[in-house]
Structure 1
Amino acid sequence: MSGALDGLRAVVTGGASGIGAAIVDALLEGGARVAVLDRDLTGADGRALGILADISNDESVRVAIDEAATEFGGIDTLVNNAGIGAQGTIADNPDDEWHRVYDVNVVGLVRVTRAALPHLRSAGRASIVNTCSIAATVGLPQRALYSATKGAVLALTRAMAADHLAEGIRVNCVNPGTADTPWVGRLLDAAADPAAERAALEARQPHGRLVSAAEVAGAVAYLVSPAASSTTGTSLAVDGGMDGLRLRD
């Protein structure tokens, strides 16, 4: 992707760790200028513009977006990657946890996009990529709340694509399978048998391993690139075939 993203001015939420950090690296390697919006910039790439922001706070989001736009002279690429996880069946999380996770995973995406829209419109040709999940398209055990929020992200992606196509803004999402990220690492560490749990997660995906953050980042880099200029309203699965394949020996 070297040089493929020259001139792009990108904002990546949750870009200081995990999949977000890999996305930032891929965009920078492609030639884009990148602003990382995160609550903790400890792990942020030093080549990027780091901006403290909390996507659960509208004022924080607006200030951060304005700072990025001022520094770059505009914004033409937005990656809504920030999100939080949740475990349990529909009976296991109280109302306040449902509200908290929705507020970050869904309304947080809305806050950031809403603040960035004037800059994206002014860019003429712009793109948004939302980090969704395999949980939006496949029923996973013990992920009711998380799956509900990612289902909302998938639906929002399509609605946003329809609303903003005439304004020159493409909107897509990536649907990672179970990825090798710090969050998944913490879940594995908390399991009674971490090695057995990892093996089970790897076996669940047809290609037999966890998805790497770099693989998800590569899909995002493609979707924001000029090579994808006719691609909008699409969800791109990066899941080793988990959504679409039913393999048997």
Structure 2
Amino acid sequence: MGRLDGKVIVLTAAAQGIGRAAALAFAREGAKVIATDINESKLQELEKYPGIQTRVLDVTKKKQIDQFANDIERLDVLFNVAGKFGEISDRILITSKVQQVRQPWMLVWTWGLKADEVTRGSRFVHHGTILDCEEKDWDFSMNLNVRSMYLMIKAFLPKPSSECPQPGLVPSRHPSPLRWKISAVTGCRLHQPLQSAWQLSRQMLAQKSGNIINMSSVASSIKGVVNRCVYSTTKAAVIGLTKSVAADFIQQGIRCNCVCPGTVDTPSLQERIQARPNPEEALSDFLKRQKTGRFATTEEIALLCVYLASDEVSSVLPSLPM
């Protein structure tokens, strides 16, 4: 019997790194996992594992998130991974030794790529001080690292009863004929296409078992890191968001915690190291920052996430495991 038997878990940025390791760990513990990412090819590799379904999702797009939430009939755990440090796309390397490409929405450094190959789904880590940060860099970092979590949480978090549309009918957003049904959970008269979304919200509130896990970093309000001004600011905001959601919804049985790892050994980290002029020196520099003398593994972080997703820590709120 697994520690997560029967739980339905949605997570973002699941194509590689911590997200992928967490999806596999959740499934091994008996959860029904819905893994999302913008990288469709890598995401599909998870389909071969029992207990895992996949969904292509751009977490910067509110309409996509809302539609996704409408399609989910039940949710026990939401794990927001997108925007984690170091989880850049396997096609994008942030380095000062390669070709510069400008997009209207961000500035990245690419390794021999055409401009149209740079995808909006890349995890973005801005390098530099506040003086190196342009407004577009700030806006993009906030959008991916913070706003994405805000959108995901708001889409799946229980809505208070005051938002239940009483009296009257829910306005139709669909061209189909009106079909009304009384929700057994809320007592509200719901237009049929909207029913699942409202039931999801009220079911989570009624069962008092919602669980949200956010991915932050030690490079945040916990610790200042050189040349990580914008990134650290966004991750400090994630900690603040986590504490606020935890405080606001604990009485309704909603838990909200976040994980704050240091440098984790992921494929993208190794790519960044190899892209440096002197990979051995770069590796040494990275390791010098680690008090343990080694990188954390994605499996170690995934095990911590399993613990937070389980009922073993139902009274832990809010926590910031590092």
Same fold per superposition (TM over 0.5): yes
Structure 2 match to 1:235: 320
Matched, 1:154 2:158: no
Structure 1 match to 2:260: 175
Matched, 1:86 2:126: yes
SS in 2 for 1:236: coil
Higher alpha-carbon deviation: 164-173 or 181-190: 181-190
Structure 2 match to 1:195: 280
Q: CA deviation at 1:185?
A: 2.3
Q: CA deviation at 1:160?
A: 0.8
Q: CA deviation at 1:163?
A: 0.8
Q: CA deviation at 1:49?
A: 1.3
Is the CA contact 1:52–1:64 (under 8 Å) kept in the aligned structure 2?
no
Deviations 1:189-232 (CA, angstroms, capped at 9, x unpaired): 22221111112211211111111111111111101101011111
Letter in 2 for 1:124: K
Q: CA deviation at 1:187?
A: 2.2
- The structure number with the bigger radius of gyration is 2
Alignment of 1:196-235 (within 5 A): 196-235=281-320
Is the CA contact 1:37–1:64 (under 8 Å) kept in the aligned structure 2?
no
Deviations 1:134-168 (CA, angstroms, capped at 9, x unpaired): 10111111111110000000111111100111111
SS in 2 for 1:155: helix
Matched, 1:37 2:40: no
Structure 1 match to 2:211: 127
Looking at structure 2, the residues matched to 214 and 166 of structure 1 have their Cα atoms a distance apart, in angstroms, of 32
Structure 1, unaligned runs of 5 or more: 238-249
Aligned Cα root-mean-square deviation (Å): 1.3
Higher alpha-carbon deviation: 186-195 or 74-83: 186-195
Structure 2 match to 1:102: 142
Give the TM-score taking structure 1 as reference length: 0.89
Structure 2 match to 1:241: none
Structure 1 match to 2:11: 12
SS in 2 for 1:31: coil
Looking at structure 1, the residues matched to 226 and 275 of structure 2 have their Cα atoms a distance apart, in angstroms, of 17
Looking at structure 2, the residues matched to 64 and 15 of structure 1 have their Cα atoms a distance apart, in angstroms, of 16
- CA, structure 1 residues 7+190, in 2 after alignment: closer, same or farther (shift >3 Å)? same
Higher helix proportion (structure 1 or 2): 1
Deviations 1:51-106 (CA, angstroms, capped at 9, x unpaired): 11111110001112222x23xxx001000001122211111121011101100110
Q: CA deviation at 1:38?
A: 1.1
Equivalent in 58, 63, 83 of residue 62 of structure 2 = 58
Structure 2 match to 1:243: none
SS in 2 for 1:42: helix
Letter in 2 for 1:79: F
Letter in 1 for 2:18: I
Looking at structure 1, the residues matched to 63 and 2 of structure 2 have their Cα atoms a distance apart, in angstroms, of 34
Looking at structure 2, the residues matched to 36 and 66 of structure 1 have their Cα atoms a distance apart, in angstroms, of 16
Structure 1 match to 2:156: 116
Looking at structure 2, the residues matched to 98 and 117 of structure 1 have their Cα atoms a distance apart, in angstroms, of 27
Structure 2, unaligned runs of 5 or more: 84-122, 159-199
Structure 1 match to 2:178: none
Q: Percent identity?
A: 32
Runs of 4+ in 1 over 4 A off after TM superposition: none
Q: CA deviation at 1:122?
A: 4.5
